[in-house]
Amino acid sequence: MTKITRRTVVTALAALGGAALAPRLAFAATWPERPVTIVVPFPAGGSNDVLARLFAQSFSQSFGKPFVVENRAGANGNIGANAVARAAPDGYTLLLSGNGQNAMNHALYSQMTYDSRKDFVHIGQMGSVPNALLVSADFPAQTFKDFIALVKSKPDQIACASPGSGSSGHLAMAMLQHTAGIKLQHVPYRGAAPAITDVIGGQVNAVMINVDIALPHVRSGKLKVLAVTSPARNPLYPDAPTVAESGFPGFSAIGWMGLSAPARTPAEIVMQINKAMNATLGEAPIRERYAAGGYIPGGGTPDAYAGFIAAEIDKWARVVKETGASIE
């Protein structure tokens, strides 16, 4: 009879572990063998969608297989994000993750069907885009400081639009109100385009929106940028001050985008995508497109992006608690 020792058991378990790992490694080595879907949990045309399509095109060339963008909008990004969280962890379904669906919503919604810290493996940050506070060309306040003074003199009488409740524009506005001690009327829209249209038409006084979306209307002279919400000035509007430099040090409220996958997606696949993402950020056409849109390049490791998201969840939980912001 063969004597069973502790060493025999350990060796046998190691062999079994290696056998189980072998198919996984082989699978990762052959990925992708078919099209990969990048789910954008918002309608087409926004900043999230723009970056997703830029990277999908680059990845399609890098990997030799199609990367297809699928817009699955609803519930401030929750519907698309939940679909990816429940998808097979095989590298064929990715999420365009961002500040709404992967950070702010955890504080804004009492019931969440996924946890951004547990149900995803975060691949890397593509970039970020600040918001801008804009008014029509004939609005009486022509500077940010004048705007703050005017709102203080007319509390709850100046209407400010956002692309929707729970959007980065909405939360940036709530943060500004709390920080500056002002009271605005929040007017949520279903998207950026109708909000801008009503500001230009005079139905709403101001709008807080991503810097790239407003650019054509600023160039045409129909809108004026009063301030941007990033720590540093944005190259699209070099003359527009930051909120931070205008008397509110440390103010920062930016939208950000990256890639995530369902939890338990093989690390080898995650690293392949991360490597391709960082390489794409170094391509000249991408750098030029970023500069033209006012995007701030991202990059870095999966661990860095996961840590960033965890910090953002905590940050916006504090903001929501302090401001009382809610999904209206």
> Of 258, 261, 296, 293, whose CA–CA distance to 277 is shortest?
258
Q: What is the DSSP string of 264-276?
A: T--HHHHHHHHHH
Output Rg (C-alpha) for the chain, integer angstroms.
Answer: 23
For a pLDDT cut of 70, what percent of the chain falls above it? 91
Minimum mean pLDDT range among 123-127, 145-149, 189-193, 278-282: 189-193
How far apart are the C-alpha atoms of 254 and 169, rounded to whole Å? 9
Q: Do the Cβ atoms of 37 and 94 come closer than 8 Å?
A: yes
Type of residue found at 123: I
CA angle, corner 313, sides to 36 and 132, nearest 5?
Answer: 85
pLDDT for 232:
93
Report residue 25's pLDDT band, with 50, 70 and 90 as the boundaries: low
Least confident of 43-52, 103-112, 126-135, 223-232: 43-52
Please report which confidence band the pLDDT of residue 43 belongs to, taking 50, 70 and 90 as the band edges: confident
Instruction: Label residue 47 by pLDDT band (50, 70, 90).
Output: confident
With the CA atoms of 64, 65, 66 and 67 taken in that order, what torsion angle do they form, in degrees rounded to the nearest 10? -90
| Whole-number Å distance between alpha carbons of 197 and 202 | 9
Task: Give the pairing type, strands 185-188 and 254-262.
Answer: unpaired
Check pLDDT > 80 for residue 258: yes
CA separation, residue 317 to residues 6, 64, 181, 197 (Å): 50, 41, 19, 31
pLDDT 10s digits, 197-255: 999 999 999 999 999 888 999 999 999 999 999 999 999 999 999 999 999 999 999 99
Q: Quickly list H helices, 42-167.
A: 47-63, 78-85, 99, 105-108, 144-153
Q: Could you check whether the bond before residue 66 is cis, i.e. omega within 30 degrees of 0? A: no
* 74 or 45: which leads in pLDDT: 74
The label of the residue with tokens 């490791």 reads 301
Tens digit of each residue's pLDDT (9 = 90 or more) over 271-287: 999 999 999 999 999 99
C-beta neighbour count of 299 within 10 angstroms: 18
Quick one: DSSP state of residue 2? P
Q: DSSP assignment, residue 241? A: P
Which pLDDT score is estimated for 9? Answer: 46
The identity of residue 42, as a single letter, is: F
Residue 131 above 70 pLDDT? Answer: yes
pLDDT of 2 higher than 50: no
Average pLDDT on 51-62 reads 96
Tell me the mean pLDDT in the region 296-305: 96
At 244, list the tokens.
């931070």
Residue 22 binned pLDDT confidence (cut-offs 50, 70, 90): very low
DSSP for 283-295, written as a single string: SHHHHHHHHHHTP
User: At residue 264, does pLDDT exceed 80?
Assistant: yes
